[in-house]
């Protein structure tokens, strides 16, 4: 009879220990799941922020008033200024050679 009581006590103790360990496991599993959920939410928010920044960067570079557009306009303006300067130098050189040069070039395409 004592053996049965001991077995009963042991089995109830084991059951209590299993319940406690089960509770510990479920608590730790819940914490892990919560951590995973928080990590997933943080990852999604990070991706959204990166996409917003990428959109802003692309519009800043390529947009109507973007950096690339302004750089292209500046390049064209610089080239035009260089051509104008070369034309002025050419006129000065030709004027020094021939005093009638400017009048002749201004009337070259006109029909009488």
Where exactly are the structural domains of the chain?
Answer: 1-62, 67-106
Pair 59, 66: CB distance under 8 Å: yes
The residue that leads in pLDDT, 67 or 104, is: 67
Read off the pLDDT of residues 66-97 as tens digits, 9 standing for 90 and up.
888 899 999 999 999 999 998 888 888 877 88
What integer pLDDT is reported at residue 61 of this predicted model? 87
- Is the model's pLDDT at 1 over the cut of 60? no
DSSP 8-state class, residue 38: H
CB-CB contact of 61 with 68 (8 Å): yes
Provide the pLDDT for residue 28: 66
Which pLDDT value is given to residue 6? Answer: 52
pLDDT digits (tens, 9 = 90+) for 10-51: 666 656 666 666 566 666 666 667 777 888 899 999 999 999
């Amino acid at each position: 009879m004592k053996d049965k009581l001991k077995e009963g006590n042991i089995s109830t103790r084991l059951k209590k220990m299993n319940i406690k360990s089960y509770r510990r496991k479920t608590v730790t599993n819940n914490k892990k799941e919560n951590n995973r959920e928080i990590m997933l939410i943080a990852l999604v928010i990070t991706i959204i922020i990166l996409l917003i920044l990428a959109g802003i960067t692309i519009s800043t570079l390529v947009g109507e008033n973007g950096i690339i557009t302004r750089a292209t306009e500046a390049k064209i303006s610089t080239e035009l200024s260089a051509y104008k300067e070369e034309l002025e130098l050419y006129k000065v050189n030709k004027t020094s050679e021939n005093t009638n040069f400017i009048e002749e070039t201004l009337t070259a395409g006109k029909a009488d």
